Structure 1
Amino acid sequence: MYPINPKEAIKKVLSEAERSGERRVLVIKGHEFNSIKDVVEELSREKSVLCVGLPETGNVRTISYEETDSVLGSTFDALFADLSDELRPNDLGILVETVRGGGIIVFLVPDDWLSRLTRFQRELISPPYTERDVRQAFKRRFLESLGSEGVWLLDGEKLMGVERSVEKKKTEKPQSDDPVESLSMSEDQLNVIRTILSSAASPKKQIIAITANRGRGKSAALGLAASLILGRRISRSIGVTASSPDGVQIFFSFLKKGLEAQGMKYNEVKRDGKTVAVISGRRMVFYRSPISMSELDIRIKIVDEAATVPVHLLFRIARKSRLSVFATTVHGYEGSGRGFTMKFLKAMESKNTRFLRLEMRIPIRYPEGDPVELWLYRLLLLDAEPASVKEDEIRYEKLDPEKLDEEKLREFYGIYVLAHYRNRPDDLAMMLDAPHHHMRAVLMGDNVVAAAQICEEGRLNKSMIDAIMERKDSPPGHMIPSRILVHYGNKEFCKLWGWRIVRIAVHPELQGRGIGSRMLSFIHEEAEDAGVDWIGAGFGASPELLKFWLKNGFLPVHMSPQRSDVSGEYSVFVIKPVSEKARRSIEELNAEFKRRILSTLHDVYFDADPEVIRLVLSAGTHEERPRLRFSQILRLRDYIREFNTYEMASDAIKELLISYFMSRAGSLPEDAERILIAKNLQGRPWPLIVRIARKKTMKETIDKVRECVRSLYELYSDVLPRLE
C-alpha cells in the first residue's frame, strides 16, 4: 500500500461509496482537522455535510455533541466528527444513521487517544476512583473493529481496509397518487400506512404490531398514517406515547408533513421545546406518558418504541382502545425489542383478538446489506444474542472487560437484550470502561447463562456526605447511599462499602430454575471475601421482582414517593447485609422504612398495588406492641361480634395493623393482608375492595373483611382480651 494523505484517503473511500451506493466509514488517526478542511469545504458545495465537535467551516452545518438529538430524522451526504475529546456511544449510533447511501462518515482520533479521556469517560468516574482508573476497553473495541469491508483506517500515511466491489442497486420509490402516500420511501412504509388506515376505518377491534430494525422509517410511517386518519375524518383524536416526548418527535415531524401535503392547517403545542400535540381544526393528535395512556379510554392509540414500555402497560393500552398500534425497533439503541417480541407479541398471537403483525425490512437511507450498518451493529452489540443452552454444571466467573473475548461479551450482553432491560450503547460503554462497574457471569459449560453488572457504592468521606446532605455538587454514582442520606440522614451507613447490582438476568430458556438466586449467593460469597459490607439493588416494584429479591434475604429500605411516568411503578431499593456492622444499620433502616410506609399509605401510596405494599411490609421483623385504648378495644370487639360497622372500628383496626406489619407480618393468609392493606391502610372504597377480595357481592366482601379482622385480633390473644 503506497503512502496516502487524508485528502486522498477521503476521496478514495468516498469514490467507493458512490460507486456502490452504500455508506463508508473512514477513521483518520493522528491528523488535525486543518488537514482535511479544504475537502470538507469542497464537498459542501455539492453535498449536504454535517460536522460535529469541529470548528465552524463555511456553510457547513456544525453542531456540538450536546445537539446530536437535533439531527434525528435528518439526512446528510457526509459526516465529519472529532472523537478526540468525545465518544458517546448513543451519539455515535444516532449520527452514523443520518448518512445516506453513497455517503461517507469520517472520524478524527489523535495518536494518544488511548491515553486520554473523553468527556463521557470523565462522567464515569465515581469516588474513590480517579481518572487513572478509567478503562479504555470501548475505545479499543472501536479501533479493533476497523479495517473490515466498508470501514477504513488511515493511520499516519497507511490506509487499511478491505475494498468492497458491489454494483449500485437501483431502489425505486413506491408510486401513489395520494399526496401523503407519495411521501413514503419504501414499499414497507406504504404497506404500514395503508394497513393502519384501513384498520382505523374498520368498526372491529384491531391490534397492529410493527417490528423493524433501525433506519427503516417506522416512526415516519406512523406519523403519515396518523395525518391521513385526521385528514379523512376517521377519528377526531389519536393518542401517541413512548417512554418520553423525545421518542415521538420524528412521529410528530411526519404527522405535520402529512397534514401539509393535504393542505391542512395546524397548531403545535410544545413543552420544554418538544412537540406534545398537533391540533388541526377540531381534530388532534396528542402525547401522553405510557401510564397515562394506559388509563385513557380513546378510540386510537399509537405506541412508538413499544419495547421501552413495560409489557403490563402495553396490555392495558390495548384493552382500552379499538385500534392500538405498537411499533418497536427490534435491534436498536432505543431499547430491546426482543423482550417485546417474546412476551407481548406471543401473548397477543395467542388471543382471539384480531391481530396483525407487520415487519419492515427495507432500509430508507441506504441499501440492504450496507456494511456500515453491519459494523455499527457489531460494535454496539445491537444484535447480540445469548448462547444456545447445553446442559452442564454451572460455575461463577469474574469477567475482565479489557480481556473479554467477543463471543463471551456477546453472550453476556445478549442476555440483557432478551431481558426486560432498556439497553443503550452508553450502557455498554459504562460497563466496559467505568472503574466502579464490574461484570459477573454464571456459565454452563463454556456459555454464559446468567449475567450481572455490579456497581461499587459507599465509602463516602465527610465532604461527600455533606455535599449530598446540602444538595450541592454531590459525587456521581452512589445511588443507594444518596437516598439513605436524603431520606434518613444515616451518615454511618454511607461510610460502609456496598455493591449495587445494576442488572441481573438469566437466559430465558433457564428461568425459574434458581440460577438467579444461585448467582446472588455467588456474589454474596465474593463480597464476604472482599470485605464488602452490603449488597443492594433498585428496581421498579412489581410483585414478581420483589418476591425474587425478598426470598434471597434482601430488605426494602426505600420506596420512591412518585410513580415512574414510563412504567407506572414505584422504585424500590433493597439491601442485604454482608458485615455485622451493616446488619444493625440495615435493620434500623428497614424498621424506619416500614413505619414511614405505614403512616403514608393513605396519602402518598394510596393508589399503590396492595400486593406490592404487602410484599415490602412482609420483610423484616421489629418488636412492636399494639397501642389500643380501652374504647378502641371495645369498638373492635363489637365490630367482630357484628354489633357495629367497619367504620366504627376503623381506627382500632389501623393500630392493630401497624403493630402486625412491624412485628408479625406473614402470620395471616396473603389475601387477608392484601384486603386489610387496601381497605384500612389505603382507604380504598368498598366497590374496589369487592374486586380485590374477588367476591361477587358487597355483603360477601363486608363479611370477608370482618373475617380478616377477626383473624388479626386473635393473633394478639396474648396481649388483648379474649373474644367471648
Structure 2
Amino acid sequence: MMNGDTVASDPISTLLSLHAMAQRDYVRIPVFVSGDQNFLSLLLNALPNITLVSDDWDFPDRLFWRQAKQLLGQETHTLALDVRQHIDVEKICAISGCIKGGELLLFLVGDGDEPQKNESLFRDRFLSFASHANAATICQSGFISMPTLTLSDTREILPRLDTVTTPDQVKAIDAIERVLSGHRRRPALLVADRGRGKSSTMGMAAASIMHCSKKRIVVTSPSVANVDTLFQHAERQSSLQNTPLLRKNKYGYVAENGSELLFVAPDALLQETPECDLLMIDEAAAIPLPMLGQILKCYSRIVFSSTEHGYEGTGRAFSTRFRSMLDAKAKGWKEIRLNAPVRWAENDPLEAWLFATFLFDAEPYLPLVITDVVIREISNSELSADEGLLKQVFSLLVSAHYQTSPNDLVQLLDGENQSVLVAFRGDVAVGVALAQREGGFDEALAKEVVSGKRRLRGHLLAQSLATHTGTLDALTDSLLRITRVAVLPSCRQQGIGHALIASVEQIAKRSDITIVGTSFGANSELWQFWSSMGYLPARLGVQRDAASGTYSLQLIKPLACSLEWIGDLHSLFSTNFPHQLNEQFSTIEPTLVAQLLFSSIDIKPPSEQMLKQVALFANGALGYDLVTGSLWVWFVHWLATRDDPETDQMQCCALIMRVLQRRSWKEVAEVFGYQGRKDTEASIRHWVATQLPTNEKEIE
C-alpha cells in the first residue's frame, strides 16, 4: 500500500482514498477500472471535475478521442480514458501531461466482454501494467489492488508546486537574462522532461526582462496554443511586479514602458525576420532542424526549450542533432536542465508508470566484448514474451531515428506482414531492421487505386509508386519495404547495417518477393549508404517533412533482372528531377543534387553546337546569359555520367545552385564567399574549362 495507507474494500471508498492520497502528496496515480457500464458510471460520478475521453459514451465533460489534444496546454483534474475498444497511445502520452498533481488518471478497461477487432500483443502488454507497482486496480468483481510504491518524505509537499519558483527555474531565469545581456551568439537551451516548467520559466524571465527596461521579445513555436503557458506566467509575474502587461491581441502583450511580448509563427519569423531584443523558441524539437539553423543565422540572442520526455515526439534524437548544430554555429551556447517537477511532486507514480509502460527510459546496452555479429529474425510473440529484448530493440530504434512515437511500439508488437531482424553480439542487440510486405494485389484493384477510387492501408511505398507514375506493377508485384534500420552508435561503420539489409533481401528471395524498397528523409549520408547497395531513386516527394525538414526519397532495388518497370520508374525520376530543381527542389543541398543525378539514365548528351557554346563560355568569349540552355544540358549530362558520385568542389556546387536551381547570383556569392556576380561567374567559368575535353577547350 502506498505509504502504508489502508482503504475500505468497496470500490467508491477505494477510489476516494486514492484521490485523497494523490491530493495529500501532490502526485498523480494511474487507476485501472474494470466493470460494466453501470459500474463505470458509478465510479465516474463519485469524483468531481472528471473529464472523460470516449467515443462510445455520453457523459458531462466528454471529449471524443479525436478532440483529446484540445487538452494540450491546459491543466486538468482527474482524467478518465475509455480504452475498451481501442488504445490511442500517442494521445494517452500527450494528454497525460495535462493532469495536475493531486489527481488520477483512470483507464476504463471494461469487463473483458467487449469484442476486439483483432488480437493485440500490445493491448495485452498494456493491460498487464495494471499490476505495476505504481498503479491501482478497481474491479467490479471485487478485486482491488493499490500502489505499492512508497513516496519520498524528504521534502515538504506544497499545495501547488507550480506557484513556487524552483531553484532550477531561478538558475534558468538567470541564464536567460544573461543571453540578453552577455556576448552575442551564445544561446541558451532549456532541456527537461515534461512538467518541469520550461514554458513557465521563459514566461517569468520575459516578464522580468520587460520590467527592467524597454525590450521587444518575440516567441515562436509550432502553434500559438503551445505558448499559452508562457504568456500566462509572463502575465502573472508582471502582476506580481506591479507592472501588469496589457493584452495587445491573441498574439501578444505590451507593457507600460513600451516593452512587447509577441508570438510569431516559425515560417513568418523567417520570411519577415521581425526585429527583437530576444527570441524565445518554445518546443524547438517540433521545428525542423534546417529551419532552426536558419533562425540561428538570422538572430543572435536566442533561448530554446526542448522536451526530452523519453523518446516522445522527437526529443532524444532531436537533442543529439541539435546540440551538434549548436556546437558548429554557436560555440558559446549553454545548456540548462530543469529536473524538479512543478506540476506534480517528485517520484510521481503516473510519470514512472508511463516511463515503464511506453519504454520512455529504454537505453541501448553496450556489448561487453567484441564478437562476431549474428543476425536472426525475431517474431512479434518473442518480443512480447521477452521484456528485456523488447527494450533493447526499441532503444535502438529510439537512438537512431529522428521521429519515434509511442505508435512505433504498437507497430513493433502488432505489425502484420512484418519482419524484424536483430543483429546480436553475444546477448546484446547492436542493430535492428524492420521490413513490411506490400503489394501483391490483383490488377482490377490496382487500377482502382491508380485512378484514385481506392486507398490501401499499410502499403505506403507500393501505393505511392503506383499512383504517382501510373505503374500497376508496383501494386500487383509483391514488395518488401524496409521501414527502419538502426545500429548502436558505437557499432556503426562496421558493416552491420549492410548485413541487416542483405538479410532482408534474403528473406524477400525466400518468399519469392522480387522488389525491395525503402523511403527516408533525403540527405547525403543516407544516400551514400543506400546507393552503395544498389538501390535506385524512384521518387522524391515535393513536400518537406515537418520534423526533419527533408524531402522523402523513395528507393527500389530489383532482385530479378526481368522487372522492366523498375527501370521505367528510375527513368521517370531521371527525366523529372532535373526540371524540378529550379522550383520544387530549389533549396536542396547542391551535394545531394549531384548525388541524385549520378547514374541517371536517358539523359540526352549536348549537341555539338551546344558544346561549342559551352566552350566559348569557358574561354570567356560568351557571357553566362547567352549560354544558359547549352550550359544546363551539358552540366546535367556531366553530372549523370561522371566517374565519381561525390562532388564537393565549391565551383561545381555553385554551378548547381545557379544553373540548375536558378538561385540568384547574390545568394550564390554569399553562400560560397565570392565578392559578387563577376567573381562568381569567373570562378564557375574556370571550373567548366577544367571539365571540358582538350579539343573542346580549343574552340576559337
Normalising TM by the smaller chain, what interval? 0.7 to 0.9
Letter in 1 for 2:52: C
What is the aligned partner in structure 2 of residue 217 from structure 1? 197
- How do residues 23-42 of structure 1 correspond to structure 2 at under 5 angstroms? 23-29=28-34, 31-42=35-46
Aligned to 2:157: 171
Give the stretch that moved more between structures: 547-556 or 185-194.
185-194
Given that 1:336 and 1:418 are in contact with CA atoms closer than 8 Å, whether structure 2 keeps it comes out as no
From the superposition, tell whether residues 310 and 394 of structure 1 become closer, same or farther in structure 2 (CA, over 3 Å): farther
Q: Say if 2:438 and 2:462, in contact at 8 Å, map to a contact too.
A: yes
Instruction: Measure how far apart 1:387 and its partner are.
Output: 0.6
Greater alpha carbon shift after TM alignment, 585-594 vs 465-474: 465-474
| Shift, 1:207, TM fit | 1.2
Which deviates more, 491-500 or 464-473? 464-473
420 and 305 in structure 1: CA distance in 2 versus 1, 3 angstrom threshold: farther
Whether the 8 Å CA contact 2:134–2:352 is kept in 1: the answer is: no
1:104, 1:700 → 2: CA distance? 68
Using the TM superposition, give the Cα deviation of residue 257 of structure 1 relative to its aligned residue in structure 2, in angstroms: 5.5
Instruction: Note the C-alpha offset of 1:113.
Output: 6.7
**CA–CA distance in structure 2, aligned partners of residues 466 and 396 of structure 1:** 39
Matches within 5 A, 1:8-27: 8-18=13-23, 20-27=25-32
Q: Which residue of 1 aligns with 2:110?
A: 110
Task: Specify the code of the residue in structure 1 equivalent to 2:31.
Answer: L
Asked if structure 1 preserves the Cα contact closer than 8 Å seen for 2:375 and 2:424, the reply is yes
CA deviations 1:610-641 (Å, max 9, x no partner) are: 111111111x45255425264x3443343333
Separation in 2 of the partners of 1:538 and 1:384? 26
- Give the SS at the match of 2:519: strand
Which of 306, 309, 313 is equivalent to 1:331? 309
**Superposed displacement of residue 321, structure 1:** 1.9
DSSP 3-state at the match of 1:636 = helix
d(CA) in 1 for partners of 2:78 and 2:159? 22
Contact 1:556 1:590 in 2 (8 A): yes
Write the distance in 2 (CA, Å) between the matches of 1:384 and 1:295.
41
Within the candidate set 610, 617, 631, 2:597 is matched to 617
1:591 and 1:201, CA in 2 relative to 1: closer, same or farther beyond 3 A? same
Number of the residue aligned with 1:43? 47
> For the residues of structure 1 that align with 2:697 and 2:302, how far apart are their CA atoms?
58
Percent identical pairs in the alignment equals 22
Residues 230 and 542 (structure 1), Cα distance of their counterparts in 2 relative to 1, 3 Å cut: farther
Give a deviation string over 1:196-249, Cα, whole Å, max 9, x none: 23533446443111111122122232234335545555432414134x666545
CA distance in 1, matches of 2:658, 2:76: 60
**In structure 2, do the counterparts of structure 1 residues 649 and 363 end up closer, same or farther at CA, with 3 Å as the change threshold?**
same
Q: Does 1:287 align with 2:271?
A: no
Which letter maps to 2:68? T
Cα separation, 2, equivalents of 1:56 and 1:508: 50
CA contact (8 A) 1:173 1:185 kept: no
Q: Contact 2:179/2:303 (CA < 8 Å) preserved in 1?
A: no
Query: AA paired with 1:106?
Result: L
TM-score by length of 1: 0.84
Give the direction of change, closer, same or farther, for the CA distance of 1:315–1:409 in structure 2 (3 Å limit). Answer: same
Task: Establish whether residue 148 from structure 1 lines up as the match of residue 132 from structure 2.
Answer: yes
Matched-pair contact (CA < 8 Å) for 2:293–2:325:
no
How far is the alpha carbon of 1:151 from its aligned partner? 0.9
Aligned CA distance change for structure 1 residues 610 and 165 (closer, same or farther; 3 Å):
closer
User: Where does residue 685 of structure 2 map in the other structure?
Assistant: 706
Q: Is the 8 A contact 1:623 1:662 kept in 2?
A: no
TM-fit CA distance, 1:136: 0.8
Residues 366-375 or 692-701, more deviating:
692-701
Assess if the C-alpha contact under 8 Å between 1:440 and 1:453 holds in 2: yes
Residue 676 (1) aligns with residue 680 (2):
no
Is the counterpart of residue 481 in structure 1 residue 487 in structure 2? no
In 1, are the aligned partners of 2:221 and 2:281 still within 8 Å (CA)?
yes
The 3 A distance-change label for structure 1 pair 529 and 140 is same
- 3-state SS in 2 of match to 1:42: coil
Separation (CA, whole Å) in 1 of partners of 2:589 and 2:686: 22
Aligned residue in 1 for 2:338: 360
Shift in Å at residue 88 of structure 1? 0.6
- Aligned with residue 451 of structure 1, among 420, 432, 439: 432
2:554 match:
573
CA deviation vs aligned residue, 1:526-568 (integer Å, no higher than 9, x gap): 2222222222222222222222222222111111223345443
Pair 1:400-2:379 in alignment: yes
How far, CA to CA, are the matches of 1:540 and 1:139 in structure 2? 31
Structure 1 counterpart of 2:191, one-letter code = T
In 2, are the aligned partners of 1:290 and 1:566 still within 8 Å (CA)? no
Equivalent positions of 1:400-549 (< 5 A) are 400-404=379-383, 405-462=386-443, 464-549=445-530
Contact 2:151–2:347 at 8 Å: present in 1 too? Answer: no
Task: Call closer, same or farther: CA 1:551–1:662 in 2, change over 3 Å.
Answer: same
| Matching residue's letter, 2:381 | E
Unaligned runs of 5+ in 1: 118-133, 176-181, 270-276
Task: Tell me whether 3-12 or 20-29 shows the greater mean CA deviation.
Answer: 3-12
1:10 maps to amino acid:
L
Which structure 2 segments of 5+ residues have no match?
1-5
Contact 2:52–2:62 under 8 Å retained in 1 = yes
Tell me, yes or no, if the aligned pair for 1:297 and 1:320 is still in contact at 8 Å: no
Asked whether the equivalents of residues 146 and 161 of structure 1 are also in contact (C-alpha less than 8 Å), the reply is no
Letter in 1 for 2:47: L
Q: Which residue of 1 aligns with 2:89?
A: 89
Distance 2:584 2:319 in 1: 35
Cα deviation, 1:283-311, whole Å, max 9, x if unaligned, reads: 35223337964994754332333344455
Q: Is the 8 A contact 2:519 2:553 kept in 1?
A: yes
Q: Judge conservation of contact 2:33–2:40 (CA < 8 Å) in 1.
A: no
Instruction: Encode CA deviations 1:163-222: one digit per residue, 9 max, x unaligned.
Output: 4454765234899xxxxxx95553433443343235334464431111111221222322
Q: Counterparts of 1:81 and 1:519 in 2: how far apart (Å)?
A: 40
Provide the residue aligned with 2:144 in structure 1.
159
Classify the secondary structure of the residue corresponding to 1:326.
strand
Alignment partners' CA distance in 2, 1:425 and 1:702: 51
Q: Classify the secondary structure of the residue corresponding to 2:534.
A: coil
Residues of 2 paired with 1:157 and 1:667: CA distance? 70
- For residue 352 of structure 1, report the CA deviation from its aligned partner: 7.7
1:387 corresponds to which residue? 365
- Provide the secondary structure at the position in 1 that maps to 2:693: helix
One-letter amino acid matched to 2:506: E
| Paired position in structure 1 for 2:3 | none
Separation (CA, whole Å) in 2 of partners of 1:307 and 1:652: 44
Q: How far 1:448 moved relative to its partner? A: 1.1
1:703 positional shift: 4.2
Relative to structure 1, the CA distance from residue 428 to residue 327 in structure 2 (aligned partners, 3 Å threshold; closer, same or farther) is same
The alignment partner of 1:611 has SS state of helix
What amino acid maps onto 2:543 in structure 1?
Q
How many angstroms apart in 2 are the aligned matches of 1:330 and 1:636? 54
Q: Distance in 2 between matches of 1:467 and 1:245?
A: 41
Letter in 1 for 2:157: T
- SS of the equivalent of 2:510 reads helix
- Tell me how far apart the structure 1 counterparts of residues 501 and 10 of structure 2 sit (CA, whole Å): 54
Amino acid in structure 2 at the alignment position of 1:402: S
Shift of 1:577: 1.8
Pick the aligned partner of 1:589 from 561, 566, 569.
569
Instruction: Tell me the matched-pair count.
Output: 682
